[in-house]
Amino acid sequence: MSNKPQTLFDKVWDAHIVKQVADGPDVLFIDRHFIHEVTSPVAFLGLKNRNVDVMFPEKTFATADHNTPTINQHLPVADVLSANQLKALEENSAKYGISHWGLGNPKNGIVHVVGPENGITLPGMTIVCGDSHTSTHGAFGCIAFGIGTSEVEMVLASQCIMQPKPKKMRINVHGSMGKGVTPKDVVLYIISKLTAAGATGYFVEFAGPVFEEMSMEGRMTVCNMSIEMGARGGMIAPDETTFNYINGREKAPKGEAWVNSLAYWKTLKTDEGSVFDIEYNYEGADIEPMITYGTNPGMGMGISQRIPTAEGMESGKVSYEKSLSYMGFDEDQPMLGKKIDYVFIGSCTNGRIEDFRAFASIVKGRKKADNVTAWVVPGSHVVEQQIKDEGILDILIEAGFELRQPGCSACLAMNDDKIPVGKYAVSTSNRNFEGRQGPGARTLLASPLVAAAAAVTGIITDPRTLIG
Amino acid sequence: MAYDKFTVLSSTAVPLPIENVDTDQIIPARFLKATKREGFDENLFRDWRYNPDNTPKQDFVLNNPIYTGKILVGGRNFGSGSSREHAAWAIYDYGFRCVVSSFFADIFKNNSMNIGILPVTVSEGFLHQIFTAIENDPNTLIEVSLEAQTITLVSTGEKESFDINGYKKHNLMNGFDDIDFLHNIKTEITAFAENSKY
Ligand code: SF4
């Protein structure tokens, strides 16, 4: 190896190249593969048709999450097709010897919540899953990205994936986050600047004081959303915060293995003088609580601003107007004060304990607004238990909220948690596409604080006015 | 999954001049419940194509019989969003073999090539030309040659070249996929795994 300065991304990528194909992709070894019920059945079918085995079953982990009910999980799943998918996951896992955390298992939860929670996700790994928000695991200094079902089959069969090396982008956020501003706002702000396709073809490293100061939960929220700027994935260099989070988790290395791992993990940072294909700089002080007003995550704005006018659009005026008309909004309107119908807190973006703490901090001593239906959905059973143990459940109940059971829920509305036609939902999830949360549903993406402020007032409210 | 080999495709095209067509539009999540790869074409662009009572929406392009063909032409940033390969399956099963746009989302592009759809990236200007040509004459023929890496408006001869890496090109032209390739380097993979840190 030469002494040329290397980026974190290069270090991890290069350490996983099995082979380079001339005028083609790199063959990349995959350390961890997560699977769930929706994108894996056809992959297993493919294996069966080809008559090949799973090469390293111990490197794949299955959890049921996308298509599971969030109430009465002890009962048989009523939807026949959903029940079939869950059964297929269980049977395929058993057949090939893959670890499976199905419904009712105390470790069950959303794949991108349970991986880190159990120490499966470790710095320097390559991680894939048939879900685009696999980028979440980049918070640990991993190269983690979403794949399609053919690729799921590929990883099961060979533990490898064939990918051209993406270009490198670094996004630095300087200073610190202001009052009422959360990691979700930081990432929505970045996407609003870069647009929903602004990082396509790149792998992003998030750097600078704002990320260094962030908790692991916050870093996961940021990396989770890197796909929403079009990036293949996003990552943050591991540091003491990372190591403290991992230490002691079930599948984390122990004893001597821990010491050795730590020594390696500490080398996982971008060397001084490394070159990125492109770099962006932002100031934490410029970021206020954010909310989206349109039908892609790039259509976000500071909560106190007015909806942009089509005039300023570089291109796509027609698409912009179509989007606003779907949302039932007009350009140049304020968002503050608009009446909303639903609030959803949960998903792999904001379904971790810190998110419920933030939500509870505003809800405490207040009541849910009568016009609001709220779905409060923990990311995993572990998070659910923490919510109970920390007394957050009491605060929620006191304020008129119910806690549901873990799963993806209204993030993609495959189960019964669908927002009805034309209704407005303030959601802590990651996508506001047309119909994402149910046919005709209108999604406003925001942080847990903005969601809480909307839940207790029934309108879009600046959470800073409710924080003491 | 075996798919048809791709060499030269000469066909009329279906225009969808909308930007950021995301995979939730291509196939909504509620149609992802199958455990087999069957019938996804029925739900391609479901909510743009059908009313809630399942009657076709007359103004949507797939319901307009004057537009047909094996080529789908979409606006910038086609296929953004979810990693669901079901989106590519739905497009393939409907009968499209090629999607043309000025910009594709990464995962969609990979998924497409893995199942035998050729994503062709053209310049913004040429995309506009294609849309205009189809608007003026829905029978406009477009020729896509993977061999030559060109896309041509047959009536005028206007053409543009497109990029694709040699490896993927070879696969598409022969109907191979990555698993065939990986299968042949199993020994190398095993050797690599033995030194793996995790
Ligand atoms: S919560 Fe949403 S984004 Fe996250 S894994 Fe589930 S469906 Fe995907």
Between CA A280 and CA A172 the distance in angstroms is: 6
Enumerate the H helices of chain B as residue ranges.
23-26, 46-49, 86-94, 106-115, 124-136, 166-174, 178-183, 186-194
User: Cβ of A196 and B77 within 8 Å?
Assistant: yes
User: How distant, in Å, are the alpha carbons of A12, A125, B54 from that of A28?
Assistant: 10, 11, 44
Q: Does any ligand 1 atom lie closer than 6 A to the CB of residue A417?
A: no
Which residues on A lie below 8 Å from B181 (Cβ)?
21, 162
Q: Is residue B1 part of a domain?
A: no
Q: Which of B75, B165, B168 lies closest to A319 in CB terms?
A: B75
A 238-277 residues with CB < 8 A to B: 261, 264
Extract the tokens encoding A34.
């997560």
Between CA B108 and CA B26 the distance in angstroms is: 11
Please state the domain count of chain B: 1
Q: Does any ligand 1 atom lie closer than 6 A to the CB of residue A338?
A: no
pTM: 0.94
Which residues on B lie below 8 Å from A264 (Cβ)?
197
Per-residue pLDDT tens, chain A, 468 aa: give them: 557 999 999 999 999 999 999 989 999 999 999 999 999 999 999 999 999 999 999 999 999 999 888 998 888 888 888 899 999 999 999 999 999 999 999 999 999 999 999 999 999 999 999 999 999 999 999 999 999 999 999 999 999 999 999 999 999 999 999 999 999 999 999 999 999 999 999 999 999 999 999 999 999 999 999 999 999 999 999 999 999 999 999 999 999 999 999 999 999 999 999 999 999 999 999 999 999 999 999 999 999 999 999 886 666 788 899 999 999 999 999 999 999 999 999 999 999 999 999 999 999 999 999 999 999 999 999 999 999 999 999 999 999 999 999 999 989 888 888 999 999 999 999 999 999 999 999 999 999 999 999 999 999 999 999 997
**Is the fold of A8-163+240-263 the same as that of A290-465?**
yes
Give the nearest chain B residue to A232 (CA atoms): B106
Between CA A270 and CA A267 the distance in angstroms is: 9
Question: CATH no. for residue B95?
Answer: 3.20.19.10
Q: Is residue B113 part of a domain?
A: yes
Ligand 1 center–CA A438 separation, angstroms: 14
Give the nearest chain B residue to A440 (CA atoms): B47
Q: Domain span at residue B69?
A: 8-195
CATH topology of domain A290-465: Aconitase; domain 3 (3.30.499)
Q: Is residue B61 part of a domain?
A: yes
pLDDT tens-digit map of A177-228: 999 999 999 999 999 999 999 999 999 999 999 999 999 999 999 999 999 9
Between CA A20 and CA A24 the distance in angstroms is: 8
Considering only CA atoms, which of A353, A369, A320 is closest in space to residue A217?
Answer: A353
A 364-403 residues with CB < 8 A to B: none
Between CA A286 and CA A273 the distance in angstroms is: 27
Which CATH code fits A167-238+270-286?
A: 3.40.1060.10
Let me know: does A53 contact A46? Beta carbons within 8 Å. no
Ligand 1 center–CA A411 separation, angstroms: 6
* pLDDT (0 to 100) of residue A190: 98
Beta strands in A333-423 (DSSP E): 342-345, 373-376
Count of A–B CB contacts within 8 Å? 201
Helix (H, G, I), strand (E, B) or coil at A176: coil
Extract the tokens encoding A435.
């119909």
Give the nearest chain B residue to A315 (CA atoms): B19
Let me know: does A442 contact A328? Beta carbons within 8 Å. yes
Residue owning the nearest CA to atom 4 of ligand 1: A348
Q: Is residue B2 part of a domain?
A: no
CATH topology of domain A8-163+240-263: Aconitase; domain 3 (3.30.499)
Q: CB distance from B163 to chain A under 8 Å? A: no
Ligand 1 atom with minimal separation from the A136 CA = 4
Q: Is residue B3 part of a domain?
A: no
Give the nearest chain B residue to A32 (CA atoms): B198
Q: CB distance from B154 to chain A under 8 Å? A: no
* pLDDT (0 to 100) of residue B4: 81
Extract the tokens encoding B4.
């048809």
pLDDT tens-digit map of B130-177: 999 999 999 999 999 999 999 999 999 999 999 999 999 999 999 988
Ligand 1 center–CA A221 separation, angstroms: 12
Between CA B51 and CA A324 the distance in angstroms is: 20
Quote the minimal CA–CA distance from A132 to chain B in Å. 5
Let me know: does B106 contact A226? Beta carbons within 8 Å. no
Q: CB distance from A25 to chain B under 8 Å? A: yes
Ligand 1 center–CA A318 separation, angstroms: 29
Q: Is residue B85 part of a domain?
A: yes
Domain boundaries, chain A: 8-163+240-263, 167-238+270-286, 290-465
